[in-house]
Amino acid sequence: MMARVLVNVPPKAQRGEIIQIKTLISHIMEPGFRASHEGKILPRDIITEMTCVYNEKEIFRIELSPAVASNPFITFHTRANESGTFDFKWTGDNGFEATASAKITVE
Amino acid sequence: MQGSTRRELLLGSGASAAALLLAVHAAEATPESLQAAIRNVTGKAEIGKGKVTLDIPPLVENGNTVPMSVSVESPMTATDYVKTIYVFNEKNPQPNVVAIHLGPYAGKADVSVRVRLADSQRVVAIVELSDGSFWSTTANVIVTVAACLEGNL
């Protein structure tokens, strides 16, 4: 199943400007403590990690736990030093993987 | 005449309720799992108070999605930056919430994420700076509808 992903990176920035990056991904983030309608405990199914790589350099990494709400919405900052690409990657339980990328032009 | 007595009564009960709340708060013990989780990342290092701000609503209606943001006062230069931000909770089934790895290239240590809270509780943020020092802050959150109780919704 392909997860729906939204990333928001400003398309343009001044050199050295601190920019905000927003990411949203559709995922149930089943914590593994809830019971189904039949009373069985639903197995854990979460995204465990998200990384952001800016021109092949990792700038942000977050480890997630069952205490993160479903459809993880994560925002963070970085300094825009050069034009290039942001590559985002989410990994999780049951071999979950999703990627996204966004371009930025630095003037 | 009657109105004023009622007001006095309300005032009085309000004050005693506040006193009770304070007493309960002072007597509150930190659960061992939370302490263990914190010690797991900090080791024996001393944890200072301050430098980090935890922005989370004090009163939450729905514990299933609680907006939370953590920011740290740091120049974020190559020699002085925030390495890792850890967030823990007191009463969810597991103490860990997130671990955020940053570096000088972050420009600004300000991250937000939506979390789940199973009960009214304390949320703790611990920050590790590039010089190896740890700083922390806590926030109390009151949750009306807890997360993790309902089934697959």
Between chains, do B99 and A70 touch, taking CB under 8 Å as contact?
Answer: no
- Provide the residue ranges of all domains of chain B, joining segments of one domain with +: 1-30, 32-145
What secondary structure does DSSP assign to chain B, as a single string?
-HHHHHHHHHHHHHHHHHHHHHHHHHHPPPPHHHHHHHHHHHTT--EEE-SEEEE--SEEEETTSEEEEEEE-----SSS-EEEEEEEESSSSSSEEEEEE--GGGSS-EEEEEE--SSSEEEEEEEEETTS-EEEEEEEEEEEE-SSSS---
**B34-56 pLDDT tens trace:** 989 999 999 999 999 999 999 99
Q: How confident is the model at residue B22 (pLDDT cuts 50, 70, 90)?
A: very low
Between chains, do B107 and A78 touch, taking CB under 8 Å as contact?
Answer: yes
Contact A62, A49 (CB under 8 A): yes
Chain B residue at shortest CA distance from A39: B151
**The model's pTM:** 0.84
**B106-120 pLDDT tens trace:** 999 999 999 999 989
Please name the member of A34, A35, A67 whose beta carbon is closest to the beta carbon of B89: A67
Interchain CB contact of B85 with A (< 8 Å): no
Helix %, strand %, coil % of chain A (to 5): 5, 60, 35
Q: How confident is the model at residue B151 (pLDDT cuts 50, 70, 90)?
A: very low
**A10-55 pLDDT tens trace:** 999 999 999 999 999 999 999 998 888 888 999 999 999 999 999 9
Specify the higher pLDDT residue, A58 or B9: A58
**B75-134 pLDDT tens trace:** 999 999 999 999 999 988 899 999 999 999 999 999 999 999 998 999 999 999 999 999
Q: What is the CATH number of domain B32-145?
A: 2.60.40.2470
Provide, as residue numbers in chain B, all residues whose Cβ is less than 8 Å from the Cβ of A42: 151-152
Provide, as residue numbers in chain A, all residues whose Cβ is less than 8 Å from the Cβ of B103: 59
- Asked whether the predicted pLDDT for residue A1 surpasses 70, the reply is no
Q: How confident is the model at residue A72 (pLDDT cuts 50, 70, 90)?
A: very high
Please name the member of B65, B98, B117 whose beta carbon is closest to the beta carbon of A65: B98
Mutation site, B114, B117, B123, B128, interface A, largest A CB count within 10 A: B114
Taken in order of first residue, the domains within chain A and their CATH numbers are: 5-106 (2.60.40.10)
